[in-house]
Chains A and B, each alone.
Chain A
Amino acid sequence: AQRVTQPEKLLSVFKGAPVELKCNYSYSGSPELFWYVQYSRQRLQLLLRHISRESIKGFTADLNKGETSFHLKKPFAQEEDSAMYYCALFYGGATNKLIFGTGTLLAVQP
């Protein structure tokens, strides 16, 4: 069955520290993976998609098919990075379904 696992409910770091938000997935096909971010009182917005291999706001994420992981990383956290982060797996074909992980709340302390 398709599943996305984010093992940490809360990750608290100090400003300037490295950040790694973990995401593991279970999917028999070729995965399409995303990171979405939800800042306080703002809409859910796309942060990264694995297929484009881009860096947004200093965040990167690499798909590791061997470990079935798509961890989100940033070398130096900023206070404005504090938000809820969701890893999501596109379960496609005709269904266009997006399966979300349970989310990790990142709190960056000054």
Chain B
Amino acid sequence: DTEVTQTPKHLVMGMTNKKSLKCEQHMGHRAMYWYKQKAKKPPELMFVYSYEKLSINESVPSRFSPECPNSSLLNLHLHALQPEDSALYLCASSQPGRGTYEQYFGPGTRLTVT
């Protein structure tokens, strides 16, 4: 399996809701990432997990809470979001410290906050 999968594909949530985004990979990669992408803009890094430990938090508001339960799974828990948080959320994975460092991206979850 050489793909990163993300669920759900689309999510609409109110500002008081709690929801979670899920990401899974079975390539044996030990680094996983969350990015936020606005329309016609590049991905913006949010979080990096390396060997299941949070290694980078790019000053993301606490209403976004990442979790890495094991080496194949990555979650992003959402609570009390704002309309400006509406975006495409991308998950990626890579093998840290080896080879050419390329990241493999999932298809994304399109989030709309109402």
Contact = CB atoms under 8 A, between A and B. Distances in A.
Interface string A15-52: 00000000000000000101000000011111001011
Nearest to A87: B42
A92 B101 CA distance: 8
A44 B101 contact: no
Interface residues of B, number: 23
A95 B40 contact: no
Interface string B94-114: 101000111111111000000
B43 A100 contact: yes
A48 to B, nearest CB: 10
A90 interface: yes
Nearest to A90: B101
Contacts of A98: 45, 101, 103
Interface string A87-110: 000101011111011110100000
Q: How large is the interface on A (under 10, 10 to 19, 20 to 34, 35 or more residues)?
A: 20 to 34
B42 A101 contact: yes
B90 A44 contact: yes
Interface in B33-50: 33, 40-43, 45, 48, 50
A103 B42 contact: yes
A86 interface: yes
A97 B105 contact: no
A46 B102 contact: yes
Given A44-B105, A45-B105, A86-B42, A95 B100 contact: no
Among B31, B41, B42, B106, max chain A CB count under 10 A is at B42
Given A96-B50, A96-B96, A97-B48, A34 B102 contact: yes
Contacts of B104: 46
A52 B40 contact: no
Interface of B: 31, 33, 40-43, 45, 48, 50, 55-56, 90, 94, 96, 100-108
5 contacts: A49-B100, A49-B102, A95-B55, A96-B101, A98-B45
